[in-house]
Amino acid sequence: MSKIPADLLYTEKHEYVRKTDDKSLVVVGITDYAQGELGDVVYVELPKVGTSFGRMDAFGTIEAVKAVSELFAPLAGTVTEVNTTLDSDPALVNREPYGDGWMIKLRIKNPADFDQLLDAEKYKQLVGE
Amino acid sequence: MRPTERALTWHLLIEPDGRPGAENMAVDEALLDESDRTGGAFLRLYRFSPPCLSLGRNEPARARYDRAAITRLGITVVRRPTGGRAVWHEHEVTYAVAAPLAALGEGSVRDSSVAIHRRLAAALRSLGVAATLAPRARAPGLGAGACFAALVGGEVVVDGQKVIGSAQVRLGGGRAFLQHGSILLGGSQDLLTAVSRETAVSRQPQAASGTTLSAALERPVTFHEVVDAIIAAWDAPLTSTALYRPLPSSTAQFSDPAWTWRR
């Protein structure tokens, strides 16, 4: 069974959102369930700082076991920081998806976007756990 | 088998004449787009003409391959939309499957990949090749060398050596996937070693560079006999469809050196 922390929000495409003390800044990554489904991650392609995305726009790609999948922005916003550690150690996404395997920090545009996200209970139902 | 698998009719495209690498990648990606939009499923069996070196989408090619040597030798290069590592496409049947996620298994990469490989292995066995699927193992990283030098669990092998190299991508709406790969008829992947920047010491041993159908059967194997075997083994209705015309606009992107040598 995968880890689904109660204090995070989720998308139907398996990204998570962690709120921070700064109300308009969030941390985005992919869930433990997603990394388990993908398998061994070998490359994460992330956007440049300053890039803006609409809600559920593709913000990057992830490659695991020779398969490339897109990553989606859970909320509209602008990238303030990317996890450059993933360049040299992409398997952090497998080992610590909610910790050092985070992907981007987003300065969100529209707080109402939070209403579109799933809480942990709904995400558990989505993945059948 | 799930009901959706039975209900699905696959569109079959056979292209024995071959196309340049950029066209092949653009057509495969266009089929993915069409599958994503329409829910259609496509099986394309094709070739590369001229022979072509393809790079994985995220492969660090600038560090690994000698671009000047590749240019000097007049080798055409394309970067795939899919993952994985480099392949030399010369004596092979290339396959592409673009289909809805639910068409093969539960939709995970592993499910769809294994389902395709089972069908391809059955096709090869019908030709007399002792093809099996490799046991699950930890996936090699992008730094593991050429495609046929590294084995992933679930891939098609003969006597433990890889005979089909495949890779996958899921883009756009996320309702469909593209998997394409090379079924080696003959020849070798030695060209990749010749244009590699790696030292002789760090190169993979020759025994790990895959095998071919001709080597396994000890006779020449043709494009058409493999195509016929795949069609017979596909285990779903297939209907022939027109070849892709005109060329997809993404052909220009796949021809652009900025894309090919982006890493």
Q: What CATH number is attached to the domain comprising A28?
A: 2.40.50.100
Residue B74 lies in a domain: yes
Number of structural domains (chain B) is: 1
CB crowding B217-232: b at 16 or more within 10 Å, else e: eeeebebebbbbbbbe
B139 band by pLDDT with thresholds 50, 70 and 90: low
Residue A45 lies in a domain: yes
B138 band by pLDDT with thresholds 50, 70 and 90: low
Residue A106 lies in a domain: yes
Residue A20 lies in a domain: yes
Q: Which residues contact B263 (CB under 8 A, 6 or more apart)?
A: B58, B59, B60, B61, B62
B201 band by pLDDT with thresholds 50, 70 and 90: very low
Catalytic residue among B93, B99, B147, B167: B147
Whether residue B172 is predicted with pLDDT greater than 80 in this model: the reply is no
Tell me what pLDDT residue B203 has. Answer: 53
List the single residue in B with minimal CA-CA distance to A36.
B108
Of A121, A22, A55, A43, nearest to B262 (Cα)?
Answer: A43
A51 vs B107, residue with greater confidence:
A51
Mean local confidence (pLDDT), B51-59:
96
User: Rounded to whole angstroms, how far apart are CA atoms B28 and B11?
Assistant: 13
Residue A89 lies in a domain: yes
How much of chain A exceeds pLDDT 70, in percent? 100
* Cα first-last separation, chain B: 41
**Contact criterion met (CB below 8 Å) for B154 and B117:** yes
B145 band by pLDDT with thresholds 50, 70 and 90: confident
Q: What are phi and psi of A34, to 5 degrees?
A: -65, -45
User: Cβ of B238: how many Cβ atoms within 10 Å?
Assistant: 16
Longest dimension (CA), chain A: 38
Residue A118 lies in a domain: no
How much of chain A exceeds pLDDT 90, in percent? 91
Residue A92 lies in a domain: yes
User: Rounded to whole angstroms, how far apart are CA atoms B230 and B244?
Assistant: 21
How much of chain B exceeds pLDDT 90, in percent? 74
Token code pair at residue B118: 């089972």
Q: What is the mean pLDDT of chain A?
A: 95
Tell me what pLDDT residue B256 has. Answer: 98
Cβ within 8 Å, pair A40-B170: no
Q: Which of A62, A68, A89, A95 to mutate to test the interface with B (most CBs of B within 10 A)?
A: A68
Q: A89-128, pLDDT tens digit by residue?
A: 999 999 999 999 999 999 999 999 999 999 999 999 999 8
State which residues form the domain around A96: 9-111
State which residues form the domain around B24: 3-258
Whether residue B9 is predicted with pLDDT greater than 80 in this model: the reply is yes
Residue A117 lies in a domain: no
> DSSP letters of A92-112?
HHHH-TTTTT--EEEEES-GG
- CATH code, domain with B119: 3.30.930.10
3-state secondary structure string, A2-51?
A: CCCCCCCEECCCCEEEEECCCCCEEEEEECHHHHHHHCCEEEEECCCCCC
Tell me what pLDDT residue B3 has. Answer: 43
Tell me what pLDDT residue B202 has. Answer: 53
Q: What is the mean pLDDT of chain B?
A: 90
B28 min Cα distance to partner chain A (Å): 15
Residue B30 lies in a domain: yes
Mean local confidence (pLDDT), A71-87:
97
List the single residue in A with minimal CA-CA distance to B106.
A37
Residue B263 lies in a domain: no
Whether residue B173 is predicted with pLDDT greater than 80 in this model: the reply is no
Tell me what pLDDT residue B206 has. Answer: 45
User: Rounded to whole angstroms, how far apart are CA atoms A42 and A121?
Assistant: 30
Cβ within 8 Å, pair A68-B171: yes
**Contact criterion met (CB below 8 Å) for B99 and B72:** no
Q: Give the CA distances from residue B191 to residues A121, B50, B68, B87, in Å, rounded to whole numbers and listed in that order.
A: 53, 14, 14, 9
Residue A15 lies in a domain: yes
Tell me what pLDDT residue A74 has. Answer: 97
B1 band by pLDDT with thresholds 50, 70 and 90: very low
Q: Which residues contact B1 (CB under 8 A, 6 or more apart)?
A: none
Note the ipTM here: 0.82
Cβ within 8 Å, pair B57-A68: yes
